[in-house]
Amino acid sequence: MSATERLSSLPDYALVGLYLVAIWLVLGTLALAVGGPPNLAAGFVGRVTVLIGAFALLTLALNLQWGYTGLFNIGVAGFMAVGAYTTAILTAPVDPGPTGTAGLGLPLWIGIPGGMLMAAIVGGLAALPALRLRADYLAIVTVALSEIIRLFVNWGGVSQLSVFGVEFGTGGATGISFPSPQAIVAGVVNGPLRPLVGLAESIGVSGPNVVNFGYGLVLLALVVVCYWVLSRLVNSPFGRVLKAIREDEQVTQSLGKDTRLFKIKAFMIGCAIMGLAGALFRGSAGYISPAQFRPAITFYVFAALIIGGAGSNTGSVLGAATFAALLFYLPARLGEFFPSVAGSAPSNIVEAVAALGALDPTPLVAFTIANVSTLRFVLIGVVLIYIIQRRPDGLLGHRSEPAASVDLRRSRLDGGERDE
């Protein structure tokens, strides 16, 4: 058995756990190998853990809609904005001062579920007319809705409202501040877990990096909860109907299933998780603005799902980890890993390519490292093309579950007879 086959045969929890540990080791080792202090390595690990947790939540949500039900939703950023802004409005202080935006002053434990509920409601309202459309038209509707939401929260007319004497608003283009979810984790880390912070500081790791890593672990814990809930859901009779809709909606309708109702429910559940990710990821520092919800984030989530494999919850998590760590975060940090190389980069691509005429690739390498934050979009495109051509099912797309609850593969009968 090859190494790939052995890894693929591991239980899902072991496969994901080993993959995360491998990512942490790679980033930490790279930081230490270039002479960086332990605090640099801890910062890389903490930040990438937050990104993996956030993208895993989003990819699991999209996988429920697209991977299991076949709903082509490219308005992920819009539903994230609904969840984040609802949470912000519910929890922002009633008296924010002269430059702030007022909210309802509710605690976060009410605001975050409220954001999820509102994202689900908006998703349901959008799904009512949109799910009568074919997949390509549904995609147009969802991306248009996403932009409408972003432009709406950016509109000055809703930056500050008064309804029945209650002041609230979105803050318009300047955004809105509200209690930081990460500050709650910081309170726990610097309170009951203060001895761990002291231990980390003794080896050169700062307290903020410990808090950041702790917040990432909280997001990963939420990923575990969502993974468990979605796994139970898609393996239930409800989930088998979703997979049947994905395979052939007309046949599913002929069996007496109200496919439209099933699709609306799946769409709403996925949007609720997207709203949760929007509040905890984009709003982790206690501030959000319209610029944080541009359509590019929808592209990122689709890229993660394509890499991991649609129709597999485990593949969704692995795809999110691969994208967040190796394609999104690591390229942007290469300049910090190799500062001397990046510092010697030519000012433009023409000078970098011209040096190849003298058989000197160093300027091109330096230019690439110095501008890799922009060039990573090219890298993502190259990886997606390779995945689609060489492994169209993604890393774990071969684990995509069929709609049937039993194994329908039929083997040769005993006694030499064949099943006709």
Which pLDDT score, from 0 to 100, does residue 392 have?
77
Question: What's the distance, CA 124 to chain centroid?
Answer: 21
Give the separation between CA 258 and CA 263, rounded to whole angstroms: 9
Residue with tokens 């009410």: 110
Nearest-10 Cα torsion for 349, 351, 357, 361: -70
Give the separation between CA 279 and CA 230, rounded to whole angstroms: 20
Contact yes or no for 266/69 (Cβ under 8 A)? yes
Which pLDDT score, from 0 to 100, does residue 419 have?
42
For 236, other C-beta atoms within 10 Å of its C-beta total 12
Paired residues of 134 in beta bridges: none
The amino acid at residue 339 is: P
- β-bridge pairing 161-163 and 176-177: unpaired
Which pLDDT score, from 0 to 100, does residue 338 have?
63
- β-bridge pairing 176-177 and 287-288: antiparallel
Give the separation between CA 72 and CA 37, rounded to whole angstroms: 45
Tokens of 33: 């190998």
Contact yes or no for 102/92 (Cβ under 8 A)? yes
Give the separation between CA 44 and CA 328, rounded to whole angstroms: 12
Contact yes or no for 104/94 (Cβ under 8 A)? yes
Tokens of 256: 């007496």
Paired residues of 166 in beta bridges: 163
Instruction: Tell me the CA end-to-end span of the chain in Å, nearest whole number.
Output: 33
Q: Is the pTM of this model over 0.75?
A: yes
Contact yes or no for 265/123 (Cβ under 8 A)? no
Which pLDDT score, from 0 to 100, does residue 415 have?
47
With both helix axes pointing from N to C terminus, report the angle between 76-91 and 296-308 in degrees, rounded to the nearest 10.
120
> HSE on the CB side for 417, CA within 13 Å?
5
Contact yes or no for 331/372 (Cβ under 8 A)? yes
Listed as ranges, residues in the chain with pLDDT below 50 are 408, 410-420
Nearest-5° Cα angle at 208, 205 to 213: 80
3-class state of residue 288 by DSSP: strand
3-state helix/strand/coil string of 252-285: HHHCCCCHHHHHHHHHHHHHHHHHHHHHHHHCCC
The amino acid at residue 8 is: S
Tokens of 24: 């942490």
> HSE on the CB side for 122, CA within 13 Å?
27
3-class state of residue 356 by DSSP: helix
For 28, other C-beta atoms within 10 Å of its C-beta total 18
Which pLDDT score, from 0 to 100, does residue 378 have?
82
Contact yes or no for 408/402 (Cβ under 8 A)? yes
295: CB partners within 8 A, 6+ apart: 74, 77, 143, 146, 147
Tokens of 162: 């008064």
Residue with tokens 């989930």: 239
Give the separation between CA 146 and CA 73, rounded to whole angstroms: 10
Contact yes or no for 340/34 (Cβ under 8 A)? no
Tokens of 324: 């967040």
